[in-house]
Amino acid sequence: MIEIRLHGRGGQGAVTASRLLATAAFLEDKHSQSIPMYGTERRGAPVTAFVRIGEKDKMVRSLIHEPDYVVVLDSLLRKTVNITEGLKDDGMLILNSSVPPEEIELLKPYKVATVDATGIALETLGRPITNTAILGAFVKATGEIGLESVIEAVKQQWKGTLGEINVKAVEAAYEATEVGDPKIVAEVVGEKAPAGSRADWRTFRPVVDLEKCTGCRLCWVYCPEHCIEMVDDKSVIDYAYCKGCGICVEECPVGAIEMKSESERGE
Amino acid sequence: MVGEEIVTSGSTSCQGCGHAILARLAFKAFGRKTIFTLVPGCIWITLSRNIPLFSTGTVFEGGGALVSGITNGLAARGIEDMNVVAFYGDGGTADIGLQGLSGAAERNENVFWICADNQAYMNTGGQRSGATPKYAQTTTTPASYIRRGKRTKRKNLPFIVAAHDVAYVGTASIAYPSDLVGKIEYAKGLKGFKFLHVQSPCPTGWGFSPSDTIKVARLTVQSGIWPLFEITEGNDFRLTYKPRELKPVGEALGLQRRFRHLTDGESQEIQSRVNGQWKQLLEIDGKRLPY
C-alpha cells in the first residue's frame, strides 16, 4: 500500500489531482481512495488532499499521517507549510519548482523530484492550474502508476479540448521532471513575513509602472486587500498582503499596472 | 472617499473577494463609533477578525433579534452616537434571517442593516439561496439539459423591506464606491431602520476570474440587472444611476460560469425581464410609492 499527501492552494486543483490519481490507480485494477481534507478550500488558501493505493483488505479510511510521497502543487507553499511532516525516511517529495532538486534545502535526505509545473501549466492551459502537470511529474519520479492510466483518467475527467491540453500538460511535465538529492541543511530559513501576510497566495504579482501612473486612486479604491498606498500621488503596493487578484490591473485606466509571474523573481 | 481606514489587510477571503471591498468602503463611511453583528457566512469566517470594532455574532435566525437587542441596550444606557450595523449576507437576510429582518424593520429599530449579497451560500461551497437569480447554476441547482439551474426568480428584497415603511432602503454596488459610500453617509444619520442591499460578486461561486470582480459588478449595473436606487422616508423612490441606454445582459452573464449553460432563448428571457423591470423603475422614478 502506498500513501500520498498532496499540498496545494485553493484553485490549483489539489483535490482534483487526488481524484485523478485514484482513478488512474483504479484503471490499473488497484484499490484506491481519494480523500480531500475538510477545511477552508478558499481560492488561494492552503489545501491538503490524500490518496491511498493498495489491496482491498488492507485499506483503512483515515487521513494519512505518514505518507510515502508528498506532492506539492504550489512553488511557494513549502516556505509556509511543513510539507515534510510525517514523511517516511525513504519517502520522496515531488515539488513544483523551477530550480533543480540539488538546490532544494531540506533537513533530511529525502529523494526530491522537481518540475516547473506553473510554467508548464501556463504554456499548455494558459492558467496557473498545476494539478495535471504535477501528476506527470509524479508518474516519472515514482513509477507507481503508468503514464497511460493517468492520461486515461484525465481524458475521463475532461472531454474535448480541455482534456487534450491537460494531457499535453501531463506529458510535458513527464518529460521535464528531474529527480535528485536535496541540499541538506541544519535549519530551513523561511521568509520572514508580518502577521497575517498573504504574500504566498500569489502566482502573479502586480507591478506599478510609476512613469505611467497618474495617481487617479482607482486601484486604491477597488483593492480588496487595502494593500495599495498613495505615496507622492503614485500607487505603491504592499506585497506582504497582496493576494494577486489582479483587480488593480483590470481597473487601471492607463494600463500602468502589469502582472508578473512570481517565479521570475527567483526562489 | 475620505474617512479612516478601519478594515486591516491580511484577511483570509478569496482573491478578488467582493465582500472585502464592500467591508472596507462601508466601514470607512461608518467610522470608528460602530458596533456590528454577524451571522454565519463568509464575512464572519474571513473578514470579521480584520474589522477591529466591537462585534458579536449569532445564528442565522437570530440576526434581527441580536441587532435589535444591541441598539435597544445602547438606548437604555443613553448612548446615542453609535452606529449599530447588521453586516449579514443574503442567507442571513433573504432566507433564514428574513423573519428577524421583518421583525426589526416592523419595529423600526434604529439599526443599519447591510445585506452583502453574493447570491448563494458561498461560505459552505455555493448552495442556492432566495437571492440566487433564475437559471444560475449552484451546487444544489446544477445545470443539465433537463434542469436549467435555479428554477425560480430571486426575491425582490429591497421592496420587501420598503413595504415595512422604514427610514431608508437602498441598493448599491461595489463598482460604484461613491454611490455606496454616499448612501451610507446619508442614511447613517437617520433614526430608524436603514437597509442597504449591496451586490458583491463572488469570483469563486459565480465562476469568473478574480481580476474581474469590479468589471462584473459594473456590467450588471450598466445592463440593468442590478439597478441602483434608494427609497427614502415617506416611500419616495429615486434611481441613483440612470444610463441613457442599458447594455445587453449577455456581456455581464457571459463572464460568469454559473450562466454558461444558458441558451439564446433563456438569455432572451432574462433580457426581456430586465427591460420590463427597468421600464417599471423609470415609471416610478421620483414618485412616491403606495404603501
- Per cent of chain B over pLDDT 70 is 100
In this complex, do A250 and B211 lie within 8 Å of one another by their Cβ atoms?
A: yes
Listed by start position, the domains of chain B span 18-284
| Per-residue pLDDT tens over the stretch A9-37 | 888 888 999 999 999 999 999 999 999 88
The mean per-residue pLDDT over the stretch B78-95 comes to: 93
**Distances from the Cα of B181 to the Cαs of A70, A112, A170, A197, B22, in angstroms?**
48, 53, 49, 28, 10
Give the Cα separation of B110 and B67 in Å (integer). 9
In this complex, do A42 and B12 lie within 8 Å of one another by their Cβ atoms?
A: yes
Asked which of A62-71, A125-134, A188-197, B242-251 is least confident by mean pLDDT, the reply is A188-197
What are the cell numbers at B246?
A: 442599458
Cα A162 to its chain centre, rounded Å, is 19
Name chain A contacts of B15, Cβ cutoff 8 Å: 11, 43-44, 201, 243-245
Helices then strands, each counted (H, E), chain A: 7, 13
Which residue's C-alpha cell is 445545470?
B143
Whether A212 and chain B come into contact, CB under 8 Å, resolves to no
- What are phi and psi for residue B79, nearest 5 degrees? -90, 120
Distance from CA of A46 to the nearest CA of B (A): 11
The mean per-residue pLDDT over the stretch A260-267 comes to: 62
B258 and B138 Cβ atoms separated by less than 8 Å: yes
Tell me what pLDDT residue A182 has. Answer: 87
Name chain A contacts of B208, Cβ cutoff 8 Å: none
Whether A258 and chain B come into contact, CB under 8 Å, resolves to no
Give the Cα separation of B165 and B167 in Å (integer). 7
Nearest to B9 among A10, A221, A227 (CB): A227
Strands B229-232 and A105-106: unpaired
Please indicate whether residue B105 or residue A9 has the higher confidence score (pLDDT).
B105
Nearest to A241 among B1, B5, B10 (CB): B10
Please report the beta strands in B70-204, taking only residues with DSSP state E, as ranges in sequence order.
83-89, 112-117, 168-173, 194-199
| Per-residue pLDDT tens over the stretch B140-177 | 999 988 889 999 999 999 999 999 999 999 999 999 99
What are the cell numbers at A212?
A: 505611467
> What is the CB neighbour count within 10 angstroms for residue A175?
12
Distance from CA of B206 to the nearest CA of A (A): 13
Is the pLDDT at A267 greater than 70? The verdict is no
Domain A199-265 CATH assignment equals 3.30.70.20: yes
What are the cell numbers at B108?
A: 423600526
Give the Cα separation of B33 and B37 in Å (integer). 14
Nearest CA in chain A to B173: A222
In this complex, do A241 and B204 lie within 8 Å of one another by their Cβ atoms?
A: no
CATH tag for B18-284 (out of 3.40.50.720, 3.40.50.300, 3.10.520.10, 3.40.50.970) = 3.40.50.970
Tell me what pLDDT residue B1 has. Answer: 67
Q: How far apart are the two ends of chain A, measured CA to CA in Å?
A: 34
Whether A196 and chain B come into contact, CB under 8 Å, resolves to yes
Cα A96 to its chain centre, rounded Å, is 6
Question: At how many degrees (to 10) do helices B18-30 and B177-187 cross?
Answer: 40
Nearest to B214 among A198, A243, A250 (CB): A250
Name chain A contacts of B204, Cβ cutoff 8 Å: 11, 42-43
Confidence of residue A45 (pLDDT cuts 50, 70, 90): confident
A44 and A76 Cβ atoms separated by less than 8 Å: no
Listed by start position, the domains of chain A span 2-184, 199-265
- Per cent of chain A over pLDDT 70 is 95
Burial B180-218, CB ≥16 within 10 A → b, else e:
bbbbbeebbeeebbbbbbbbbbbbbbbebbbbbbbbbbb
Confidence of residue A190 (pLDDT cuts 50, 70, 90): low
| Per-residue pLDDT tens over the stretch A88-143 | 999 999 999 888 888 888 888 899 999 999 899 999 998 889 999 999 999 999 98
Which ipTM score applies to this complex? Answer: 0.91
Which of B1, B8, B9, B49 is the best substitution to test chain A (most A C-beta atoms within 10 A)?
B9
In this complex, do B15 and A195 lie within 8 Å of one another by their Cβ atoms?
A: no
pTM score: 0.84
In this complex, do B16 and A45 lie within 8 Å of one another by their Cβ atoms?
A: no
Confidence of residue A263 (pLDDT cuts 50, 70, 90): low
What are the cell numbers at A122?
A: 501556463
Which residue's C-alpha cell is 421592496?
B159
Q: What is the dihedral of CA A149, A155, A157, A159, to 10 degrees?
A: -170
Cα B127 to its chain centre, rounded Å, is 17
Distance from CA of B26 to the nearest CA of A (A): 12
In this complex, do A43 and B20 lie within 8 Å of one another by their Cβ atoms?
A: no
Name chain B contacts of A45, Cβ cutoff 8 Å: 12, 14
DSSP bridge pairs for A92: A69, A111
CATH number of A2-184: 3.40.920.10
What mean pLDDT value characterizes chain A? Answer: 88
For B185, the 3-state DSSP assignment is helix
Give the Cα separation of A81 and A83 in Å (integer). 6
Nearest CA in chain B to A238: B9
CB pairs under 8 A, 24+ apart, for B142-148? Answer: B143/B260, B143/B261, B148/B261, B148/B266
